[in-house]
């Protein structure tokens, strides 16, 4: 697995668009190989498994139906997933960090058709890596990384990138109150509500923004405590109470530092502090009218199945 990651990282670090695309496809193939179910191993299946990462998904036989995804219980028993999870604990093999660096470099290049597709692919993969390895969410407690996501919500970017960024934000904030505090301290609520009020924002993006605000107003529970990072490496959090707890057991915690802010500096008193729905309602009310109606609807309809962030 280290060899596969090394090849992907070499391509992701390139400034050449086709090489970056190849690196993103290699990461996608690796994650798909971990998440997709397999039949009982035989020589043919082993050959197919080995070639999954090497080929682009579009090059695979379209006549074959894709295998079903694994359940969480199957995933935690999978040796490939466990090996992947352990590799993510160090600086050298952390996929989320490499993807964030690649996305930041693409952001600096500016938007065009091909570059937008690469950014969309990077955002999708960042979401997937955070779901497979929740401790990597600690990257977004750093202001530099959170600022990058907020920059992608600017009106200059296409609706597809704005929508994908909102989904990435949700993934980064779930079960991680410290990331939510970073989002608030960097005027994330202002960025979201400004995009919502803009006449140039597409209808689909506005629907995604409403869903995001519903999510933001959900009560918080510190399910993954102390999302801290080492100087430039994602630190490992305490054991997760989720169904992936078996995979998390046996790892240590990380101690952290702070990133460099391009917006308003954060307060040390905000670290790991959860906020009530009323407190978040007041914060959001500074930027948006009729927040009380949102909260009332949230309590009556219980979206997201009543799941709290």
Which has the higher per-residue pLDDT, 274 or 243?
Answer: 274
Q: What average pLDDT does this structure show over 99-106? A: 95
Higher pLDDT, 288 or 98: 98
- Mean of all residue pLDDT scores within the chain: 76
> Beta partners for 234?
229
Residue 97's nearest CA partner among 74, 71, 129 is: 129
- 203-223 average pLDDT score: 87
Distance CA 135, CA 131 (A): 9
Q: Please, what is the Cα angle at 119 between 32 and 261, to 5 degrees?
A: 115
Closest CA to 132 of 89, 162, 169: 89
User: Given this model, what pLDDT does residue 239 score?
Assistant: 32
- Minimum mean pLDDT range among 104-113, 138-147, 261-270: 261-270
Check residue 148 and give its pLDDT: 95
pTM above 0.85, yes or no: no
Tokens (6 digits) for 185 = 């301290």
Band (pLDDT 50/70/90 cuts) for residue 212 is: very high
Angle at 263 between CA 207 and CA 231, to 5 degrees: 105
Closest CA to 94 of 102, 82, 84: 84
Mean pLDDT calculated for residue range 259-274 = 49
pLDDT band at 99 (very low <50, low <70, confident <90, very high): very high
Structure tokens at 209: 């923004």
């Amino acid at each position: 697995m280290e060899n596969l990651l090394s090849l992907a990282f070499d391509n992701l670090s390139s400034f050449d668009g086709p090489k970056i695309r190849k690196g993103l496809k290699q990461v996608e193939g690796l994650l798909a190989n971990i998440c997709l179910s397999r039949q009982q191993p035989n020589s043919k299946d082993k050959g197919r498994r080995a070639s999954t990462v090497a080929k682009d998904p579009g090059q695979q036989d379209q006549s074959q139906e894709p295998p079903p995804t694994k359940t969480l219980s199957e995933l935690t028993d999978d040796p490939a997933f466990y090996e992947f999870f352990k590799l993510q604990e160090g600086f050298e093999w952390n996929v989320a960090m490499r993807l964030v660096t690649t996305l930041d470099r693409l952001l600096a290049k500016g938007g065009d058709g091909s570059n937008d597709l690469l950014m969309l692919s990077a955002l999708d993969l960042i979401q997937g890596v955070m779901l497979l390895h929740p401790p990597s969410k600690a990257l977004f407690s750093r202001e530099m990384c959170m600022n990058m996501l907020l920059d992608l919500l600017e009106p200059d970017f296409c609706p597809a990138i704005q929508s994908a960024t909102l989904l990435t934000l949700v993934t980064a904030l779930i079960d991680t109150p410290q990331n939510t505090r970073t989002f608030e301290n960097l005027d994330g609520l202002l960025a979201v509500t400004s995009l919502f009020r803009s006449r140039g924002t597409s209808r689909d993006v506005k629907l995604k923004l409403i869903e995001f605000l519903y999510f933001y107003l959900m009560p918080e529970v510190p399910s993954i405590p102390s999302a801290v990072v080492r100087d430039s490496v994602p630190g490992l959090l305490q054991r997760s109470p989720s169904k992936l707890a078996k995979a998390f057991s046996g790892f240590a915690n990380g101690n952290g530092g702070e990133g460099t802010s391009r917006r308003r500096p954060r307060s040390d008193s905000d670290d790991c502090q959860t906020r009530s729905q009323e407190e978040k309602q007041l914060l959001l009310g500074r930027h948006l009218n009729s927040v009380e109606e949102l909260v009332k609807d949230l309590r009556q309809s219980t979206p997201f199945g009543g799941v709290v962030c």
